[in-house]
Amino acid sequence: MILVTGGAGFIGGNFVLDWLTGSSEPVVNLDKLTYAGNLDTLVSLKGDARHTFVQGDIGDSALVGELLARHKPRAVINFAAESHVDRSIHGPEDFIQTNVLGTFRLLEAVRQYWSALTATDKDAFRFLHVSTDEVYGSLSKTDPAYEPNSPYSASKAASDHLVRAWHHTYGLPVVTTNCSNNYGPYHFPEKLIPLMIVNALAGKPLPVYGDGMQIRDWLYVKDHCSAIRRVLEAGRLGETYNVGGWNEKPNIDIVHTVCALLDELRPKAEGSQYATQITYVTDRPGHDRRYAIDARKLEAELGWKPAETFETGIRKTVQWYLDNPQWVANVQSGAYREWVGKQYGAER
């Protein structure tokens, strides 16, 4: 049994689906179901005895303690986080509450649970914390350091430091992963790639910040899931592993690639190109110019490599959104998400 927090979000939801595709080991899935939490992503698991969904907050120490005592997981994988830079700029308090205080309370509940385990179970237990490359800030040198520049990245950096401290101070068996920009199925359509797809198909402007030359490394979400599985299996305690796709590209190139794929896969009836909808908008405050991940440690120590190139992954992603318009419509409807939660039968 494993406990996954934030397992109804984009990466967490993909991880739960991936885990139960390749394993019979049950999952307890704890998610607060904020705006980006979407049980529609997990609807294929309805009635599956291997998956137990619980609606709740990682900051609810009593609930987390109850789940740990009842289900006795051998590992906790923490995806739970507020994760959108723009939202953190306009409302940073939620990010501090979940990413800092929530992580602290989760660590404390897990530490109490772990401390009471038998020696054998203690040795086998793992706490895997999923983080982001944004904690490193805008890269201008070879070796990254923690230099977060937004409320979101600062809150995630704080959570990383808490996890590290709980290992060195209390001996909690932790590993941390820092990933580059994920993309793929079930991505909430406020993020760059799904936003471009959804807006393009709706005939809306495709907003590009500043000059569009901000560089990001792109990682297909299913590759990220395989990396987490590998780190959980064999990662060294207390270590941090960077997970990247070796796909550094300017944002404007990503937008043009999406437009070209849509021109091919869903051409407009009148024959115009989707790129004509690109609109440059005022850059976001403190917008980092370059993120990149060096995943050589993960590859050398644990033998992991991404299976998808950007070209194969982005084609699969665009096709998925074309094939699943109802998911997009549903995720944009808060009333629908509430209905799905009731139908699904969340424990709390």
User: Which tens digit of pLDDT belongs to each residue from 23-35?
Assistant: 999 999 999 998 7
| 133 catalytic per annotation | yes
Q: pLDDT category, 333, cuts 50, 70, 90? A: confident
Q: How many angstroms separate the Cα of 293 from the Cα of each of 26, 85, 170, 196, 228? A: 32, 19, 29, 24, 15
Q: Residues 6 or more apart from 279 whose CB is under 8 A from it?
A: 205, 206, 207, 208
| 223 catalytic per annotation | no
pLDDT value at residue 344: 42
pLDDT value at residue 84: 66
In the chain the domains, ranked by start, together with CATH numbers, are 2-183+221-245+288-307+332-344 (3.40.50.720)
Catalytic hit among 40, 57, 82, 134: 134
pLDDT at 144 over 70: no
Least confident range of 149-158, 165-174, 225-234, 268-277? 149-158
Both tokens of 98, joined, read 């979940």
Catalytic hit among 133, 223, 248, 308: 133
Cα 330 from Cα 335, distance rounded (Å): 9
| 86 catalytic per annotation | no
Residues 303-321 have pLDDT tens digits of 999 999 999 999 999 999 9
pLDDT value at residue 348: 36
Q: How many angstroms separate the Cα of 268 from the Cα of each of 208, 271, 314? A: 21, 5, 20
- pTM confidence score: 0.91
Q: Vertex 80, ends 317 and 46: CA angle to 5°?
A: 65
Catalytic hit among 113, 136, 152, 220: 152
- What is residue 284's three-state secondary structure? coil
Asked if 128 and 110 touch (Cβ cutoff 8 Å), the reply is no
